Amino acid sequence: MAVTEDTDGMRARRSDAQRNRARLLVAAREVFAESGLAVPMSEIARRAGVGIATLSRNFATREAIIDATFAPRMTAYADAMQAALGDPDPWNGFSQYVWTVCGMQAADRGFAHVLTMTFPSALELEAERTRAYKGLRTLIARAKAAGALRPDFSSVDLALILMANAGVVGATGDAAPTAWRRMVAYFVRACAVDAVDPLPPAPRARQMQQALHRIHDPL
């Protein structure tokens, strides 16, 4: 009898722990989407209906809960790249990819920031980001080879538009929720090969990495 009670008690505790973790992830998705990544951890715990100690047991750091919350969305981001590469029209694949990822940012303020930051210990998140980046280089090369994408376009330029779009999404919010679409339309038009005005030099990859880490530091 004692063995059964102990077993039942362990199962109940495991079930409670699983429910708490699930509630925390739902709350994190909601809070991050509404308010961005800098929201207090205590607000996530409050929204989930648990104590801060329970949150800490499940997710020791802010980066850990960001990883668990956004890894599926980062997978969707990388999958969108694969869909773009499968488009027989290289320009359409490129432009639709830009629209897709900017739309993902607009739909979720938290993810808008995740796309412009790096999280070295969030292994699943960063693995999917790397998969998308490798595809981006191929996508750019295809669009240039087709004579559709301006030859001075760099992969850094997509990082710049994502940073800009995150700022527009955060600034306009509910007041002008479609404003991001006008900015993205300008960007896509400027990427076309017949947009003849030369661009200033693109930042070097190392400079962009420093910029991304600087965005991440406050967290």
Q: What is the CATH number of the domain that holds 109?
A: 1.10.357
- Quick one: 138 and 93 in the same domain? yes
Q: What is the pTM of this model?
A: 0.78
- Average pLDDT (20-39) is 91
- Quick one: 42 and 85 in the same domain? no
- Quick one: 174 and 207 in the same domain? yes
Note the pLDDT of residue 211: 66
- Quick one: 105 and 18 in the same domain? no
Distance (Å, whole) CA 122 – CA 65: 9
Note the pLDDT of residue 30: 92
Instruction: Please tell me whether residue 149 adopts helix, strand or coil conformation.
Output: strand
Q: Which domain holds residue 32?
A: 1-60
- Quick one: 175 and 74 in the same domain? yes
Distance (Å, whole) CA 193 – CA 187: 12
- Quick one: 10 and 89 in the same domain? no
Note the pLDDT of residue 174: 82
Q: What is the CATH classification number for the domain harbouring 12?
A: 1.10.10
- Quick one: 27 and 113 in the same domain? no
- Quick one: 114 and 19 in the same domain? no
DSSP code for 109: H
**Model confidence over 94-153: pLDDT tens digits?**
999 999 999 999 988 888 888 888 888 888 899 999 999 999 999 999 999 999 999 999
Distance (Å, whole) CA 213 – CA 193: 32
Phi first, then psi, for residue 11 (nearest 5°) are -65, -40
- Quick one: 124 and 209 in the same domain? yes
What count of other Cβ atoms lies within 10 Å of the Cβ of residue 75? 16
pLDDT, greater one: 57 or 16: 57
- Average pLDDT (2-20) is 68
Amino acid symbol at 78? A
Q: For the CA atoms of 156, 110, 132, 194, what is the dihedral angle to 10 degrees?
A: -40
Indicate if the pLDDT at residue 84 is higher than 90: yes
Distance (Å, whole) CA 41 – CA 61: 9
Phi first, then psi, for residue 199 (nearest 5°) are -95, 150
Distance (Å, whole) CA 171 – CA 18: 36
Give, for 12, the enclosing helix (H) or strand (E).
helix 2-35
- Quick one: 55 and 103 in the same domain? no
- Quick one: 9 and 46 in the same domain? yes
What pLDDT band is residue 8 in, cutting at 50, 70 and 90? low
Distance (Å, whole) CA 50 – CA 33: 20
- Average pLDDT (157-180) is 89
Domains of the chain: total = 2
